[in-house]
Structure formats: C-alpha cells, structure tokens
C-alpha cells in the first residue's frame, strides 16, 4: 500500500466513525435516559405500593416488602426492554431467548417454583399471619415471617424452624391463634362413691369465679363415662385465645384442689 493513500483511508475511517456516532450516540443517550427514568419510576412505584398496603388491613405487614420488590423489578424489566429496543436490539428475539432460558431454569428448579407458587397462595389467602401459632403434620410453631420461598417459625421450645412454603401449603393446617376464643375440655376423675352433682357444683363455681372464663356460652359439666373405680367428668368452658393455654393448665390444678377441699373423692 502506498503511504500517500494512508491519510485518505484514515479520513474515510474517521468519517465512518463520525457517521456511526451521529447515528448511535443519540440512541445511546435515549436508552440511558430510559434506564434512569425506569430506576426512578420503579423506586416511586415501590414506595407507592408500600404506602397503599400500609393503609389496608387485608395484607399482612410482612408481605409488603415482597410485593413492593416484585413491582419494582417488574417496572425495571419493562424499561430495560424499552432501552434495548431504542438501541436497535430485536427485543422480540431477546424475549424469546429469555423465555426459553426461563423454561429451562423452571424445569431445573421445579421445587423452588412450587415454593414460590405456595408462597403466593399463602400471601393471598392468608390462612395465618405473623404471630399466629400454626400446626401441620410436619411443622408446628409461631410464625415469624412469611416469604415467597419459605416461612420462618419459632417452635414452642424456642427453636428456629425454616419451613418451605410447599410443605405448609400442601398439608392440612391448624391455626391455634386465628379465632378469638377456644373451647377447653378438662377430664376430671372422681371416685365411684363420690356425688357427681356435688362435683359439678364445685367445678361450675370455679369456672364462674375465674375471670378468664367466658360465661357466654356458659360452662358445663357432665359425666363423660364410668371407668374402673372412677367416674370421668368433663368440664367444658370457653376462654379467649390469648389466655387459653394458661387457663387450661391452672384450672386443672385448681379443680383438683377445690374438689379435695369439698371432701370429694378423686380417682
């Protein structure tokens, strides 16, 4: 190549670069503006969702960060696709590739997706809230946090329980805290020679004097069955859920003390 032709070739290359820059740089600037606008709008949408959820009692407070984060990333994804389209990238093809990749990842992470689906259903249907004590055939404890993947529980002996959402959603569930009151049934064994009516009066008086026991519906005592050398009485009484366990434990002890004080033989 003749050295005299070099300046001309460099000039042509510079002209091509300049023409490319005049075409591409405005698009790049527009794409950057779209991304910046997406970040700002995503943050605003996330805060808006938090504010709306904070004013409603239908959504648990621990669910607010999950929904706010989901909205934020959804807005960011939309603006990212728009920015790529501004740069001339075929977003339809990109979405097809992302869809295929998502399908492959979904097949590989079926268990994780099951947990996400279960978490969404738990958040929507709300069979329990933070602070409730729940029980399933596999887990039991006080709910600390509800997430998209797992639920955090604290067991009765103070242990941390990390429960996948699918293990909770796919099992029968008892919520010990949801209803405002609970029925306690205390079996009391008295001797066959003791007077069941006298024992009934003692137990009903005990229930009437205890402020934790609800009087509507009224407590009741009846003979459940007769066993060897014993008559089994059943004391049935309603108590607020917040004091149920404490009332059940102390009333069992109090029933024995009062019956013995009344001279009623215990089996």
Q: For 229-241, what is each residue's pLDDT tens digit?
A: 888 889 999 999 9
Kindly list the domain boundaries of the chain, sorted by start residue: 3-108, 127-175, 181-261
Which one is predicted more confidently, 160 or 229?
160
Q: What is the pTM of this model?
A: 0.60
Which one is predicted more confidently, 46 or 248?
248
Determine how β-strand 133-135 pairs with β-strand 140-146. Answer: antiparallel
Helix (H) / strand (E) containing 233? strand 230-240
Q: What is the mean pLDDT of residues 8-23?
A: 61
Q: What pLDDT is recorded for position 175?
A: 92
Q: What pLDDT is recorded for position 44?
A: 87
pLDDT digits (tens, 9 = 90+) for 1-11: 444 454 555 56
pLDDT digits (tens, 9 = 90+) for 79-129: 887 777 777 666 666 666 666 666 555 555 556 778 878 888 887 788 888
Q: What pLDDT is recorded for position 106?
A: 56
* pLDDT at residue 251 tops 70: yes
Give the pLDDT band (50/70/90) at residue 205: very high
| Domain spanning 3-108, CATH architecture | Orthogonal Bundle (1.10)
DSSP string, 101-163: HHHHHHHHTHHHHHHHHHHHHHHHH-S--TT-EEE-SS-EEEEEEE-SSEEEEE-TTS-EEEE
- Picking from 110, 115, 162, 105, the residue whose alpha carbon sits closest to that of residue 138 is 162
Q: What is the mean pLDDT of residues 137-165?
A: 87
- The proportion of the chain whose per-residue pLDDT surpasses 90, expressed as a percent, equals 19
Q: What pLDDT is recorded for position 3?
A: 45
**Which CATH number is 127-175 given?**
2.30.30.60
Distance from C-alpha of 141 to C-alpha of 175, rounded to nearest angstrom = 10
Rg (CA), the chain: 34
* pLDDT at residue 254 tops 80: yes
Q: What is the mean pLDDT of residues 56-64?
A: 63
CATH topology of domain 181-261: Alpha-Beta Plaits (3.30.70)
Distance from C-alpha of 141 to C-alpha of 179, rounded to nearest angstrom = 17
Average pLDDT value for the chain: 80
pLDDT digits (tens, 9 = 90+) for 23-47: 666 777 777 888 888 888 888 888 8
């Amino acid at each position: 190549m003749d050295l005299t032709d070099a300046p001309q070739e460099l000039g042509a290359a510079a002209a091509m670069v300049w023409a490319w820059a005049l075409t591409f740089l405005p698009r790049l600037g527009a794409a950057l503006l779209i991304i910046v606008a997406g970040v700002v709008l995503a943050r605003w949408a996330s805060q808006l969702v938090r504010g709306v959820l904070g004013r409603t009692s239908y959504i648990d407070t621990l669910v607010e960060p999950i929904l706010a984060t989901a909205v934020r990333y959804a807005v960011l994804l939309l603006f990212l696709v728009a920015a790529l389209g501004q740069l001339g990238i075929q977003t339809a093809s990109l979405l097809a590739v992302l869809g295929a990749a998502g399908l492959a990842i979904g097949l590989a992470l079926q268990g994780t997706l099951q947990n996400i689906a279960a978490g969404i259903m738990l958040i929507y249907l709300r069979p329990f809230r933070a602070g409730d004590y729940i029980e399933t055939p596999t887990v039991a404890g006080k709910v600390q946090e509800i997430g998209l993947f797992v639920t955090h529980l604290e067991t009765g002996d103070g242990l941390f329980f990390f429960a996948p959402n699918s293990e909770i959603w796919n099992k029968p569930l008892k919520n010990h805290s949801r209803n405002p009151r609970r029925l306690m049934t205390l079996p009391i064994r008295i001797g066959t020679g003791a007077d069941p009516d006298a024992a009934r009066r003692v137990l009903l008086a005990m229930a009437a004097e205890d402020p934790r026991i609800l009087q509507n519906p009224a407590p009741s005592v009846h003979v459940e069955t007769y066993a060897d050398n014993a008559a089994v009485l059943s004391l049935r009484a309603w108590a607020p859920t917040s004091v149920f366990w404490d009332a059940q434990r102390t009333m069992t002890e109090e029933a024995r003390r009062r019956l013995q004080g009344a001279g009623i033989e215990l089996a």
